[in-house]
Amino acid sequence: MDSNLIRLSAPFTLKHTVFNKSRNSYSLPLPATRNSQRLISFKLGSIRNDAAFDEAAFEAERLSLDAKAREAMAEASKRETSSTSTSEDEDDPKAWKWVVRKRIWDLMEARNVAQNPRPVHHRIPNFVGASTAAQKLGVLKEFRVAKCVKVNPDSPQKQVRFLTLSGGRKLLTPQPRLRTGFFSVVESHMLPTQSSMNEACTSVGVAKYGRPIGLDENIKVDLIIIGSVAVDPTTGARLGKGEGFAELEYGMLRYMGAIDDSTPVVTSVHDCQLVDDIPVEKLLIHDVPVDIICTPTQVIYTSTSIPKPQGW
């Protein structure tokens, strides 16, 4: 099984992370479960900003990995929701999440508010008005004063990544599925032209222009932007697409000392992704709540009381 396709479904620890200097790679221990391997490894610096970078090959591999991951998530969704009426559901705290996710994905497709890549099932869904939501996010005080912003690599947050770079801020973004390392840093001075800035807002561009960093990087992140499938505006409870990468990335940043409880977490979604049926009592300790929600029509401060993960 490809380590980049593991669904991260339980709390894990970074305390025993191993750096292999000869291989320039990190290994993270994961809890043994029915559906995951024991160890997940990431090699740093495998993508460099030089003529050897094959954009077509990188994109082809990314699309292939995405397709395999969506298949795995679809299988997990069927497996976990099929036991909702049995006692097995009591042992699986994830089944109800798939019910909410599917309802939102179906709704977005039915109302035709979904945008490419489609269908939006098993993705952080792109949506009509994503750029408008990004513009609302861009005028937030929390964004304007930030010097370093961590933004997820998904399609609906592409404009947020552009606003980060064009505003002279440091962009911290993970490679999709963390396939070439943990995070990459991109700054405007690293981009020679306007077209390269536009390109740097894509996964290929981050791999091409970004500087990979490890867990020992001394960096302070002022604002976190994450994608969502569903979010509750009254509690700040959030659901992602089900792979757990937002939680893994948050845990890494806590481990690095780059963020703390006061670091704002913001998401941008379509208004139809706002829900009121995410039971806070069923959230796991590594689920990341959001402080601010930006939609095409409104900005919501959730005043969430859900504790943020303390790092693993």
* Closest of 63, 60, 54, 100 to residue 80, by C-alpha: 100
Amino acid (1-letter code) at residue 256: M
User: How are the residues of the chain apportioned to helix, strand and coil, as percentages rounded to the nearest 5?
Assistant: 35, 15, 45
Residue with tokens 């390109």: 199
Cα(243)–Cα(107) distance, rounded to whole angstroms? 21
Q: Are 44 and 212 in contact (CB under 8 A)?
A: yes
Structure-block tokens of residue 235: 């509690």
Give the three-class secondary structure for 40. Answer: strand
Give the three-class secondary structure for 183. Answer: strand
Helices (H) and strands (E) in the chain, counts: 8, 13
**Strand ranges in the chain using DSSP code E only, listed in sequence order:** 18-20, 25-29, 39-43, 148-151, 170-174, 183-186, 211-213, 223-226, 230-231, 238-239, 265-268, 292-294, 299-301
Domains of the chain: 93-301 (3.40.50.10420)
Cα(201)–Cα(113) distance, rounded to whole angstroms? 23
Name the phi and psi angles at 97, rounded to 5.
Answer: -65, -40
Cα(105)–Cα(147) distance, rounded to whole angstroms? 34
- Residues 110, 74, 172: CA angle, nearest 5 degrees: 85
Tens place of pLDDT for every residue, the chain, 312 residues? Answer: 233 333 333 344 454 454 454 444 555 544 333 334 334 444 444 444 445 777 777 677 767 776 776 777 777 766 766 655 444 445 566 789 999 999 999 999 999 999 999 999 999 999 999 999 999 999 999 999 999 999 999 999 999 999 999 999 999 998 765 555 689 999 999 998 999 999 999 989 998 999 999 889 999 999 999 999 999 999 999 999 998 889 999 999 999 999 999 999 999 999 999 999 999 999 999 999 999 999 999 999 999 999 999 875
CB atoms within 10 A of CB 168: 10
Give the three-class secondary structure for 5. Answer: helix
CB atoms within 10 A of CB 251: 23
* Closest of 124, 169, 164 to residue 269, by C-alpha: 124
Q: Are 123 and 70 in contact (CB under 8 A)?
A: yes
Q: What is the pLDDT of residue 207?
A: 87
Q: Are 2 and 67 in contact (CB under 8 A)?
A: no
CB atoms within 10 A of CB 39: 12
